[in-house]
Chains A and B, each alone.
Chain A
């Protein structure tokens, strides 16, 4: 079982997040691997453990800081780490990012075929959830997205996905791109031995030229969308907090009535 997991460097959710020149500000001191990608790494590790053989690759694309995301995957138990680091990638939209990831995946796949690519369901900084679909389309592999359960066998993968109107069971031949929800599993914690090993582990550094990707086809220049304005929302004005000393419910009702909400 050979599985590649795509992981993303995202700002710490608890930190103040912001924009610089129309793109999300990402710095190493307050960021790590996107939390929902932990479920993807966990799914890959469990499948390899159950198969009794195989390898897990962690792949990220981004600036120098993004290496923290693949190091986190190594700490959790991934065997290999790849970092596509090229200034020309900056400002890519989801389609540009998918093209770069797909080129890196093909490079791994062509040397030794992969069975699966696993991703998280969304990145907690962007949350568009479009990347897994774009990646499956770009690779022209099977698309099994939003998996709440995942089984692999006999050359197929089968998932159950929970949509608002129905629970769908979907099956498709390998290789497949699978995105997993946080319902699928409970990610493990890194153990001390792996943390120490991850520090010294080699991270493969690839450029767009290594992947045969034309720099002009990705990045801000090729993006179909451009952020033209970004500004922090003002905090809520006239905030009222009362302590209930026997009249809290009446105060709440009065507030709702005054606002025309009751």
Chain B
């Protein structure tokens, strides 16, 4: 099925142009340095056979409305078929953030996976949870349901 012209070698100028295009894009629009790591982290959690939630970032100006002027707050939402979550990330200092979340769904606990450690927080009756002291870097959430039968929901890993 392959067109025979594809078997012809490209000439040197073709090769040079493609090489230069690659160098151009690597300089001007590089892949995030931690993308391999982010994918690895996500795949590790995927071994739980969990449902994958979709991540959506809220525009910063909307997210900042309720925060103090000097505190940068990022808000993201996670949505899956069985639950949804709104999570805010506020800067504590240069190395630390605080994560507050609100869940819709019958969830019992939230697991937060960081590079070096994993911690869990209970979900209260109003669906709230918090991690007060989170090292900045890559994190990923695992949401576990109150009934043990529903598979957990995981999120893509993200930078906080």
A and B interact physically: no
